[in-house]
Amino acid sequence: MSKLRSAMQKGKRSTLTMAETTKTPRKRTKEAVKKDACSFFAEEEPTNPCTPTTYHTFHEPASVLQIQKKLLNWYDKEKRELPWRTVALKEPDVNIRTYAVWVSEIMLQQTQVATVIEYYNRWMKRWPTVQDLAAASLEEVNKMWAGLGYYSRGRRLHEGAQKVVTEMEGQMPRTVDSLLKQLPGVGRYTAGAIGSIALGEVSGVVDGNVIRVLCRLRAIGADSTSSAVTEALWTLANTVVDPERPGEFNQALMELGARVCTPKAALCGQCPLKTHCHSYRKVLIPSPDFSTPASCTLCPTEPWLDDLGVHNFPRKPAKKAPRVEQTLTCVARRPSEDGEDEYLLTQRPNKGLLAGMWEFPSLLLDEENSKVKQKGALCAEVGRILGVEVNKDLLSYVGEVVHIFSHIHQTYIVYSVSVEDEHATEETQSEKLQWLTRPALLEAAVSTGLKKVCLHHCYISYRSTRITFLPQRKHETLFHKDVQISA
């Protein structure tokens, strides 16, 4: 056909015979197909793929330059417009820029981007500088953070801001090392991210997305949480980071992991780095497993599974089952002067789980108890808080509400009581104790778990008394989606 096309292009009559033009192409051999597939990749397969100096590293400078160029070109076209990225690029004040990126990185720890955006915008509107945050109270910070989870993050941001103002003359750290040493709650990744994005420091980053991308690119199959793999990944990240655009390169690597090189449905066809990916090569060019030398701490210890493809990497140990806890919770309410119910809240200790947050009177249940014993324990706790005696016959069982923390499977066993004692309702507002209406409670510094308990209690009250109950729309979704009812 190429001869026919050439003759036609020259305007000459073809002299090819019919047999020549209709000849069936020869069937290609497996070796020819493999050769074409191999030519697709930018790097040659080493003869011994288990040699760490070649197979698991970026050992070719030319290949590193190609990776930097391809990834940044893809990022420039495909990146999401996010508020903290805008600040990082356009804010001329280095102090504000560093503070803004710091806030975003802390919020993004263990939390999805879509969730963080609204919180970040509200936070930066209220506290646009580190000085503004330092002047806020911890109560205000907890209230702003409520619903974002991992509440110690907000407290550490507040502590860090106060340290910057009181001990560092209001100046944010200017290097990765100083960020790591001087700001509470800032680890190796966070320091590298802030330093590269806000300050232009040439430093790699290693987070969950980057771990996945690098493990697949270099076929690192050992336990990705091991110290050997962790150090190898940091070496790779620092090797491949672009020195001219370190912040954008790191964000591009994380963006690639979040949107293309995903945990369960990698879009390899859309990946700008597929020609550099050892895992993708293994999918296209099946080959027998090489023996893994005992000295290689990065090779997989388990065989490659064809049906998993690139999802063979990274390898992680089985997740530890969350701790199971049960907590007795009492929704104590009283009528306010305008007739609306108010709810009793107490403040948690300043350290530990949900530090400084507000909650209903609660007791951790150590063992299974009868409802009679549960009522007795809760009555004693509510009575201690209010300084009155509470009759356990007044307590009503509401049901159970399940809330999952990252490491705790929590079941709230919920009771309710109406407080009528005039001595208990007088002057009970204090630093560690307050009465709030339901709308005020849902806007206070309370956890998502407490909101679930409150909404479940309101739902049960509505179902039993048929009173008018129209939850606010934004909480209505939370209620139907997350609350598990067993009344």
Catalytic residue numbers read 105
For residue 41, give the 3-state DSSP assignment. Answer: coil
Q: Strand 341-347 to strand 433-437: parallel, antiparallel, or no bridges (unpaired)?
A: antiparallel
Of 439, 436, 435, the C-alpha closest to 475 is: 439
**DSSP summary character for residue 273:** T
- Per DSSP, 446 falls in state B
**132: nearest Cα among 110, 103, 92, 173:** 103
Decide: 206 and 212 in contact? Cβ < 8 Å: no
Task: Tell which residue, 402, 385, 388, 397, has the closest CA to residue 345.
Answer: 385
Q: Are strands 408-418 and 341-347 parallel, antiparallel or unpaired?
A: unpaired
Tokens at 317, concatenated: 């140990």
In terms of DSSP bridges, do strands 362-365 and 358-359 run parallel, antiparallel, or are they unpaired?
A: unpaired
**Hey, how many other C-beta atoms are within 10 angstroms of the C-beta on 297?**
17
Max Cα distance, the chain (Å): 112
Would you give the DSSP letter of residue 420?
-
Exposed e or buried b per residue across 127-140, where buried means at least 16 C-beta atoms within 10 angstroms of its C-beta: bebbeebbebebee
Instruction: Tell me the residue type at 69.
Output: K
Quote the CA–CA distance of 457 and 331 in Å, as a whole number.
8
How far CA 296 is from CA of 37, 232, 318, 440, in Å, comes to 27, 12, 22, 58
Residue with tokens 């580190």: 130
Cα–Cα distance measured from residue 142 to residue 447, given in angstroms and rounded to the nearest whole number = 9
Closest Cα partner for 475 from 454, 484, 486, 485? 454
| Burial status of residue 425 (CB atoms within 10 A of its CB: 0-12, 13-18, 19 or more) | middle
Cβ 62 vs Cβ 308: under 8 Å: no
b/e burial code for range 204-216 (CB count within 10 A of at least 16 → b): bbbbebbbbbbbb
Three-state DSSP state, 348: coil
